[in-house]
Structures are given as structure tokens and as C-alpha cells.
Structure 1
Amino acid sequence: MPWVRALLRGQKIYARADEAGQLVADGGRVEIRYKPNDGRKYGARADNLKVVPGEILPDDACGPAEVVEKKEKAEGEAKKAAPAGRRAPGTSEERKAAAAKAHQAAEPPAAGHVIAYADGACTGNPGPAGLGVVVVQDGAPRVKLSEYLGQGTNNIAELTAILRALAEAPDPAQPMTIYTDSQYAIGVLQKGWKAKANTELVAEVKEALKARRNAKLVYVPGHAGVAMNELADELAREAVRARRTTRPA
């Protein structure tokens, strides 16, 4: 069954549809995904979704996923419990918006500090995988890498994107911040999470980070309007779509 891109409260998501691009509801709710291969699926009321015209995607555009507690119901209950006239704190959209706002309001980096955004994408998970890397200088992209990785998983793509970003700062003494929306990557690389898979790749990225002691990973929310992260995501998805590696000027 195909997917379409749709808007849910202003956020672009994936939604189940028929061959004509019409939303398909089961029990009054449409299956949706916030990211195509993060292993989580939700349900949303059709009247809360606005289909983006012309974007019909194949069934394998989103990988296998497990049902997560209905997002709208949980948020609705939180709003009822909040004081009148105030939005309920702590919903995922609010946390994402707050993180994006804080990121955009951060002080500009000092001279010589390398800023990069790294993202991965995968269709099928495992399936065709790609990565995107954007290195920023003076507020504008200096490097844009869109690399096709062949068959892989979303986590492999996320880790490899960080590895490629590190390679863009060959001077080990140069301060570097790599922004990623992969909590998994930050967990296994910086928080001591035990890697159950991709152990060799995790070790390789750790070594690359160790060789650049002034480099660090920082979480940035995905699909929250952070321009350079959105660009890295688009470069990763373009690599998967085109099955090729490019380095646009």
C-alpha cells in the first residue's frame, strides 16, 4: 500500500494511502510515520491530515514498525490536565520545537570552529541506504555530500554520516560540532550505550572521535525546521532515490 506526504499540525509526515493518493483509514485512523525507518508507527484522524499533492511513494518508502501509543490521545489527555489557557508542557512536538528554537538561538561558533550536520536515510531498514552531510561556514553550506551506501540500515547510515563529517575536519586540533538527530548514534558513541549491532562501525567512529578530541556530537531535532539539518536529510534521501553519490557545489 502506498504512502503520501501529508501535514499533521504543520509537520510533514508519511501517511497510508491508496493508489490514487487518497488517505486510507482503519478504525477511523490513518497509519502515519514521523520518520520512515525509526521503527515506530502512529495513528492520526484523517481530518487532522492535509495531503501534500503529487507525492505518492511506494510501500517500501517506510520500513517495518511497531505501534506506539496513540500520540493524539496522549497529548489530548495532557492538555486536559494543564491549567486553562496554557499548553501542556512536555509533549513531543513541544519538546522538539523548544529544542529547535534553542538551536537556532545559539551563539554563532567562534572563528575556526567547524559546524557540520549529518543525517542518514534508509528505505526498508534494511534496504537501500544513504547519507547526507552539510558543513557550514559563515552561516552557509561549504560542503554538501550526498552518498549512496548500498544495502544497509538507518543506524548504519546515521553512523557513517558522522564518520564522513569527521573527515571534513582533518586537523585533529580544530574544534568541531556535529549535529545529528540520531539519539542512537549519540548513545552508542558518547553515552556508553552498548552496541548490539554494527559493532565494528561503532568502534571505527569512536576512534575517529577520539582522534579529534575537540569534536563532539550534539542532538538536533529532525523535521523541526532547522534548515541545515533539513538539507542533510534531503541529501540523504536523494542518495537513496538516485542510487548515487554526489557532492553538489
Structure 2
Amino acid sequence: MNDQHQANSWKRMSFKGNKVWVATDANGNLLLEKKRVLIKYNLKQDYEYRVKPESLNPEDQAVPARKKPEKKSGKSSKKPGIKTSLPDNCIKIYTDGASSGNPGPSGIGILFIYEENKKKISKYIGMATNNIAELTAIKVALEELKRVDLPVRIFSDSSYSIGLLTKNWKPKKNQKLVVEIKALMGKFSDLAFIKVKGHSGIKENEVADFLATSAIKKDLL
């Protein structure tokens, strides 16, 4: 299989708002197998996804990650709920969701970091979409936390999830899940999201992604 993948041609497209590499034939047409197309976020990665071709978009539709601005004053222009600062005594949470098929077998991955302590969750959630998996990872992470008085920063590469939970976007789908997450968010004294770029070499985010995809593979074995 590896030799076959190495022989593939690849072109840039976007998936879930992130730039990906998509397998094509010699003529640049999508290379389908069982009505799915192979994608990779990084050509050097050893894991992969197969998704429906209709879930792919042109490369220019990828959503750029929010860059951390340089602070020039004590004032911040950011809206509540989206921050880049990391306060002292902060619980850092990296979440990710994955779906093989969208909808298809799905998993979530969560990495908790507090001081020198780390905890990982890799869980299969059944048949779902990528968006449901991303939101479910955030929900499970919040449910897992016992301390609501400490600052919490959730790192996610899902523009969809962060938009719904912090920018008052009106969800056309998954309304019940969004309401449940917002109710959990209200219990914390200081909770904010930080948008990260998926598969860009951020170690903790890669760990969360690996946990999510591993949950799917374990269930399919």
C-alpha cells in the first residue's frame, strides 16, 4: 500500500477549512476507492483519511488560523471567548475530532495539560460527521474537568466549533449539542478558545489528532 501511495499524484484542496493534499491520477482527477478519496494533511504523515469527494473544496476556501498578535498595550480588541494569552495556573486542553467518511466511523482525541500533569482520552463515538466529532471532543473535555475555578484554554483547529461557541453563529445542525456545550462553558470562571492551524507541526495538536484517528482504527480492527 505504501508503494501505491508513493506513486499517487497529489493536489492541494481544503477540507474542514484546512488545507489538505488529495490523491489524484496522472490526469489530475480525484483517485476514488469505494467512493472515497484519500487525503493527507502532511505528505510525510503515516496516517490518512478517506473522505467523500463532495466534502472537499478548492484550496482557496481554507480558513487561515488566527495568528497571535504582538501586544502593544494592556487593552485587547478580541471578543470574549477567543483569546491567545495563557494565564498562570492554566489548564490547557487540545481537542480534535475525526470522521472516516463524513459521516462515518468517528473518534475524538483530547490532551489535558496542567503544570507537569498530562492526561489523554481516545474514544470511538460511532457514526458521526467531522463537525459532530469536533464538538463532542470539546464537550467530553469540559465534562471531564473537576475544577471550574481554574483558567481553562481549549486549543482547537475547528473554525466551525469555535465560531458556534464564541461568535454566536446560529447552528443549522447540531443545535442540541451546541446548547449542551454552552451550558457546560457557563460553569467555568475563566474559559476561552485558541484557534490553532491543523497539522502544522504543533505537537500537542498532533497528539489530539492521533488520539482521534486511533480510536477509529481500533474500532474498525
Given candidates 22, 41, 46, the residue that maps to 1:15 is 22
1:168 aligns with 144
**Percent of paired sites with the same residue:** 33
Helix, strand or coil at the partner of 2:217:
helix
Runs of 5+ in structure 2 lacking a partner?
13-18, 32-36, 71-83
Helix, strand or coil at the partner of 1:151:
strand
User: Structure 1 residues 178, 107: closer, same or farther in 2, change over 3 A?
Assistant: closer
Tell me which structure has the larger Cα radius of gyration: 1
Answer whether contact 1:172 1:213 (CA < 8 A) is retained.
Answer: yes
Structure 1 position 158 matched with structure 2 position 147: no
Note the alpha carbon deviations across 1:198-229, whole angstroms, 9 max, x for none: 11111101101112241122211111111101
Structure 1 position 68 matched with structure 2 position 61: no
Structure 1 position 110 matched with structure 2 position 92: no
1:134 aligns with 111
2:188 aligns with 212
Given candidates 134, 145, 148, the residue that maps to 2:124 is 148
The CA deviation at 1:52 is: 4.9
Query: Higher RCO, 1 or 2 (CA under 8 Å, sep at least 6)?
Result: 2
TM-score, structure 1 as length reference: 0.63
Answer whether contact 1:173 1:213 (CA < 8 A) is retained.
Answer: yes
- Structure 1 vs Structure 2 CA RMSD: 3.8
TM-score, structure 2 as length reference: 0.71
Runs of 5+ in structure 1 lacking a partner?
18-23, 36-49, 72-91, 245-249
User: What is the one-letter code of the residue matched to 2:210?
Assistant: E
CA distance in 1, matches of 2:47, 2:149: 47
The CA deviation at 1:109 is: 4.3
Given candidates 52, 77, 102, the residue that maps to 1:125 is 102
Q: For this pair of structures, how many residues does the alignment match?
A: 191
Helix, strand or coil at the partner of 1:99:
coil
Helix, strand or coil at the partner of 2:142:
helix
Answer whether contact 2:98 2:108 (CA < 8 A) is retained.
Answer: yes
- Within 5 Å, give how 1:161-200 maps onto structure 2: 161-200=137-176
Given candidates 191, 198, 203, the residue that maps to 1:227 is 203
CA distance in 1, matches of 2:43, 2:163: 35
Helix, strand or coil at the partner of 1:196:
coil
User: Structure 1 residues 168, 52: closer, same or farther in 2, change over 3 A?
Assistant: same
